[in-house]
Structures are given as structure tokens and as C-alpha cells.
A and B are shown apart, each in its own frame.
Chain A
Amino acid sequence: MQTSLPISSSSETQPKMKQHCDHQADCLKMIQLILDGEATEQQLEKLKVNLETCQPCIQMYHLEKEIKELLQGRMEKKCCPEKLVATIKARIASFS
């Protein structure tokens, strides 16, 4: 049983790697659901198969994952200025 992704498999013993896919747009939607944690078990199973047999799926999966990680990890997270926190607290306190 192969566990790692067969990114470039040319061996004849491997299942034939699909280089072209007619359902790319649908697969992309499924990949996004999976990365968002919104996929069904069935979709997860399907992706597992595709990641072993379909080159376009492998590439799309890596791209979507990379972009999601870029957005999560590499963009600056703005913190609320202390002054604003103090202002809000003061305004709220004056309500009572």
C-alpha cells in the first residue's frame, strides 16, 4: 500500500496516472470543501483515490492548500490598538 503521493510515477507497475481530467471544475469544488473541513466521508474517499491517480487533482490540491496556508499564515494579523480598547471600555462604563 502506497501512502505517499505518487507525484511523478512513470513505473509500469503503478496504476496509470491520469494527465487530463474532464471533471476538473467539479474536483476543484470538492477539494475546496475538503480543505475547508466541510466535505463528506464520501468526498474524502474520492479525493484519496484521485490523489493517487489524477495528476490535475494532485496539482489543484497542492495549489489550494498552499493558498489557504498563505492566507492563514503569511498575512499580517492586525491587532486592535490599546488605545481603542481603552476607549471602548471607557465608553461602555459611562453607559451605566
Chain B
Amino acid sequence: MPEIMSDTPTRGYTEDQKYQIFNKEFMPHIDSMYNFAFRLTMDEDDANDLVQDTYLKAFRFISSFEQGTNAKAWLFRILKNSFINDYRKKSKEPAKVDYQDVETTYNSEEAEVEHTVDLRAEAVSDLIGDEVATALNSLPVDFRTVIILCDIEGFTYEEMAKILDIPIGTVRSRLHRARNLLKEKLRDYASSMGYNEENEE
């Protein structure tokens, strides 16, 4: 289980301590974990499996968790890795746009002209949750993930870097690209609803 072992030395917890850590430090995050799993898989059954796998793994490898440290980030990291290793492989979704492709495209585009999306705050203020969710779900999963972690779960960039095993600079740029993509989707919604149709002044 390399994703969990990481660099921390293992700890010799007694059986009682293990259950205590599990119940007091892991279980309180189960709703956030479920929400994350659901936003990743977009399917309730898959979210169920993913959360269950993650918690069982967390218990089995509890000796590599240091009591009192950031349990939520630790659990999210396991869940994210389980998702990549187990779920994404057997995903029945047709092969979507590959993340690398998207990142490369955006890298090259942004290297030349950094674009901003033409969208006004007033145009999105009337959108409902479902519309936002649909727009978010339409993003490639790596972009979706950073938005979920940052905007929905409120992780810091440093925590996100640990959860995703990427440098902070990459967190920042991926988040920036993800938000530009999201804005494009929201702009499409807003204009289909008749907002954002003002002409140039």
C-alpha cells in the first residue's frame, strides 16, 4: 500500500487505540468523504464502494497515521489513490478527454495568450445547485478534483499538494485552469438561459 505508507514511520498502537483513532479521528469525516467520492464517481453505488474501501484501508494501515495530525487530508489522499488505482481502471465511462491532453492544450494556449472568460457575476448568481453540479461534472476529473478540494472542502494549497502528490505550483495552476474551464461551462449555461447578452458598451 505505497500510497499510505509514504514517509511516516509506523506506530505501534494497541487494538484499543486503533479503534479509538478510527472512531474519533476518521469517522467524523465520513460525510465529506462520501461527498468527495460521489463528486468523483458521480454514482452512488460507486461512492459507497469507494468510501468503504477507503475506510477499510485506513484501518488496516492505521499504524502509518500519526495521531493528532490531519486525518481528513490523510483519508482524502487514500480515497483519491483508491479512485485512481481501482475505480478509474474499471470505469465504464467511455474514455474521456485525457487529462494530459487537456493540460497540454491549456499550457500551450496559456503560454501565448492568457485568456479570461467573458462572464459577469450577475449572470451566474441565478444558477441553481444542479446547474453548477452539471457544469462541474463536465470537467475532466483532475480539474474537477482540485475544485472540489479547494472550494467545496476548503483544503489549503499545501494540503491539496499532499493529497494529490503534486507540487504546490501545480495545484495553483491546475486550479486556475479548472476555474477557467468551469467558467466556460457556466457561461454556456448562462447564455442558454438568456443572461449575459449585453452588448459592448
Contact = CB atoms under 8 A, between A and B. Distances in A.
Given A25-B116, A32-B176, A88-B55, A63 B121 contact: yes
B56 A88 contact: yes
Interface string B38-59: 1100000001100110011001
B101 interface: no
A79 B31 CA distance: 5
B179 A32 contact: yes
Contacts, number: 107
26 contacts: A25-B114, A25-B115, A26-B114, A33-B172, A36-B150, A38-B157, A38-B172, A60-B116, A63-B120, A63-B183, A66-B121, A67-B182, A67-B183, A70-B129, A72-B152, A72-B154, A74-B128, A75-B136, A75-B152, A76-B133, A77-B31, A78-B39, A84-B52, A88-B30, A88-B55, A95-B59
Interface string A20-47: 0000111011001100111000000000
Nearest to B147: A71
Given A72-B151, A80-B30, A28 B116 contact: yes
B151 A59 contact: no
Contacts of A49: none
B15 interface: yes
Interface residues of A, number: 38
Interface of A: 24-26, 28-29, 32-33, 36-38, 59-60, 62-68, 70-72, 74-81, 84-85, 87-88, 91-92, 95-96
Nearest to B155: A36
Majority secondary structure of chain B interface residues (helix, strand, loop or mixed): helix
B127 interface: yes
A84 B30 CA distance: 10
Instruction: List the 5 shortest-distance A-B pairs measured between CB atoms, nearest first.
Output: A25-B114, A80-B34, A62-B121, A71-B151, A74-B129
Given A70-B127, A92-B59, A80 B52 contact: no
A85 B152 CA distance: 22
B33 interface: yes
B52 A91 contact: yes
Nearest to A61: B121
Contacts of B129: 70, 74-76
B22 interface: yes
B123 to A, nearest CB: 9
Given A36-B157, A92-B55, A85 B132 contact: no
B116 A88 contact: no
Nearest to A27: B116
B20 to A, nearest CB: 12
